[in-house]
């Protein structure tokens, strides 16, 4: 037990108490829900930022995702990690927002931007993580979503196509164009920074 700011004793859940934390969250115990939120919010905010254009959009997505998590927490059956289950809810929440806006078709071509993958990786390694996140956020929605699903979530093009209701070819094209745009943006950032 730990005393909070008003002197009331509250339970502190340890990692091995995950089942109890889940049970208490489902039961609507505020201390449990707060600790659950504090445990997963930082990691889920990173996911939200990658799928959003602005920080306020990411914050809205974070709130919406946690509402869905708490609403569906009783459905978590313990198969796999809880964090993975929570992450899938956030990714699906982000995808639903973008699907609703019908922004998932290819929208630009970058035929004149050429750069080898090796050069791109070397430049990306020299850029601060926050800057790289901002560059990913600046991608057009269709490219950003496919890039995130493929690079960060590890989905294959067939899975992405099914999730987004697009063809595999569109998924591949969007990823290709996203990488070209990022290469170009990284190159510009590197020149400006030097």
Structure tokens at 59: 């914050």
CATH class of 2-100: mainly alpha
Report CA-CA distances (Å) from 121 to 20, 97, 186: 43, 30, 10
| Mean pLDDT of the region 88-99 | 90
Alpha helices in 2-156 (DSSP H): 18-26, 30-51, 55-72, 82-100, 117-125, 129-137, 141-147
Q: Identify the DSSP state of 73.
A: G
pLDDT at residue number 49:
93
Query: CA-CA distance, 53 to 43, in Å (whole number)?
Result: 17
**Residue 85 pLDDT exceeds 80:** yes
Q: What is the pLDDT of residues 144-186, one digit of tens each?
A: 999 999 998 999 999 999 998 899 999 999 999 999 999 888 8
**Residue 35 pLDDT exceeds 70:** yes
Query: CA-CA distance, 116 to 146, in Å (whole number)?
Result: 20
pLDDT at residue number 181:
93
Answer for the pair 143, 173: CB distance below 8 angstroms, yes or no.
no
pTM of structure: 0.73
Query: Any idea where the domains of the chain sit in the sequence?
Result: 2-100, 117-193
Selecting from 3.30.540.10, 1.25.40.10, 1.10.10.10, 2.130.10.10, what CATH number does the domain 117-193 have? 1.10.10.10
Of 64, 127, 73, 120, the residue nearest 96 (C-alpha): 64
Residues whose CB falls within 8 Å of the CB of residue 94, separated by 6 or more in sequence, listed in order: 47, 48, 51, 52, 61, 65, 145
User: Predicted confidence band at 18 (pLDDT cuts at 50, 70, 90)?
Assistant: confident
| Mean pLDDT of the region 41-65 | 94
Q: What is the pLDDT of residues 100-139, one digit of tens each?
A: 665 444 443 334 334 444 454 455 556 677 888 888 889 9
């Amino acid at each position: 037990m730990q005393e909070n700011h008003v002197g009331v004793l509250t339970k502190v859940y340890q990692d091995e108490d995950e089942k109890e934390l889940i049970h208490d969250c489902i039961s609507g115990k505020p201390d449990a829900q707060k600790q659950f939120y504090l445990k997963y919010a930082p990691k889920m905010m990173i996911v939200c930022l990658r799928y959003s254009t602005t920080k306020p959009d990411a914050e809205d997505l974070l709130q919406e995702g946690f509402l869905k998590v708490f609403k569906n927490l009783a459905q978590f059956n313990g198969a796999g990690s809880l964090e993975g289950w929570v992450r899938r809810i956030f990714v699906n929440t982000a995808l639903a927002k973008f699907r609703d806006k019908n922004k998932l078709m290819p929208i630009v071509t970058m035929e004149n931007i050429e750069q080898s993958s090796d050069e791109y990786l070397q430049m990306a390694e020299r850029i601060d993580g926050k800057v790289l996140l901002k560059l990913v956020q600046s991608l057009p929605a269709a490219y950003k979503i496919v890039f995130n699903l493929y690079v960060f979530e590890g989905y294959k093009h067939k899975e992405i196509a099914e999730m987004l209701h697009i063809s595999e070819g569109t998924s591949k094209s969007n990823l290709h164009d996203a990488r070209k745009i990022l290469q170009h943006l990284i190159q510009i950032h590197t020149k400006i920074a030097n």
